């Protein structure tokens, strides 16, 4: 009998190879871009001094470390991510910052055997849109939360509302093979674009007091880092690793014009159209 495929295998492969390595390399830039979301999550998800928090899809650890500082030395914040390279970097950063109350686990939140009812809160910065089976994943995460504990995460709204995030892909499209139509049910950056879908998933997985609110957050990227950001991440970053040199040159030549409308005063500035999602276990 054929062996059943491991859940989230495609995402595990991606984030333990090229995508994970790119995020490691660009960690300082990404932390600056996404800093407003770290502040938002720490404020909204704070369970009180000395509390325990789980950070899903923690990446290189920025939100985990921020929450570890907030809960204090008597508290605990555990970051979990499917990417070994990112978790390794997160551990190094925690040690460098002397945050002994920050821990990191390389694992898949959909299948990980969490200790029951051990966290007062769960947070995630764009880390929960990548599950093959979101309802199963959120049910598993809920087991780790104390009764009444809170869930707070941010997820991207639609591509149409996120012109900055999709600018590189639109500029590159004329030079690349046609991409298949996106599957709205597939894991990915915009998998939670539909707020009603988020509500249905959380309700099906046992969460209550669900809130799904629009959050338009001002963000910025230093102009000096913009082209590195645009060519290393997302679908364009993946495409540039596959195409020939002539095609890559055409794509990279088209990118500055695609971002021109966002750049002023040495910064590319944009509003990140996202959902702020809250719920209770």
- Report the distance separating Cα 15 and Cα 82, nearest Å: 7
What number is the average pLDDT over the span 11-15? 83
Phi and psi of 196, rounded to 5°? -65, -35
Sign, CA torsion 232/237/241/244: negative
Report pLDDT for 1: 37
Closest CA to 167 of 241, 215, 230: 230
Q: What is the pLDDT of residues 87-115, one digit of tens each?
A: 999 999 999 999 999 999 999 999 999 99
DSSP-based three-state secondary structure for 42: helix
DSSP-based three-state secondary structure for 150: strand
pLDDT band at 5 (very low <50, low <70, confident <90, very high): low
DSSP-based three-state secondary structure for 144: coil
Q: What is the pLDDT of residues 142-155, one digit of tens each?
A: 999 999 999 999 99
Check: CATH 3.40.50.20 for 9-158+182-219+271-280?
Answer: no
**Percentage of the residues of the chain whose pLDDT score is greater than 70:** 98
Place of tokens 């707020």: 195
Helix (H) or strand (E) run with residue 239 in it? helix 234-240
- Report the distance separating Cα 96 and Cα 89, nearest Å: 11
Helix (H) or strand (E) run with residue 254 in it? helix 245-259
């Amino acid at each position: 009998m054929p062996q059943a495929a491991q859940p989230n295998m495609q995402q595990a492969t991606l984030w333990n190879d090229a995508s994970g390595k790119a995020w490691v390399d660009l960690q300082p830039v990404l932390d600056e871009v996404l800093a407003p979301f770290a502040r938002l999550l720490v404020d909204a998800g704070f369970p009180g001094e000395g509390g325990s928090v789980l950070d899903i899809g923690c990446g290189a650890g920025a939100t985990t470390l921020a929450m570890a500082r907030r809960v204090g030395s008597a508290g605990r914040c555990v970051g979990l991510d499917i990417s070994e390279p990112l978790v390794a970097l997160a551990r190094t950063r925690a040690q460098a910052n002397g945050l002994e109350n920050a821990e990191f686990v390389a694992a898949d939140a959909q299948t990980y055997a969490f200790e029951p009812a051990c966290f007062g809160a769960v947070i995630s910065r764009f880390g929960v849109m990548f599950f093959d089976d979101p309802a199963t994943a959120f049910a598993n995460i809920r087991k780790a939360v104390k009764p009444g504990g809170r869930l707070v995460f941010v997820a991207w709204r639609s591509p149409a509302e996120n012109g900055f995030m999709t600018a590189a892909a639109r500029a590159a499209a004329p030079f690349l093979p046609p991409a298949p139509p996106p599957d709205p049910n597939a894991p990915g950056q915009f998998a939670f674009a539909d707020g009603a879908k988020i509500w249905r998933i959380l309700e099906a997985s046992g969460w209550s007091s669900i809130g799904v609110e629009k959050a338009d957050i001002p963000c910025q990227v230093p102009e000096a880092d913009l082209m590195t950001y645009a060519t290393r991440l997302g679908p364009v970053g993946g495409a540039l690793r596959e195409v020939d040199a002539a095609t890559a040159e055409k794509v990279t030549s088209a990118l500055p014009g695609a971002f021109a409308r966002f750049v002023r005063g040495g910064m590319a500035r944009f509003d990140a159209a996202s959902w702020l999602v809250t719920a209770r276990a």
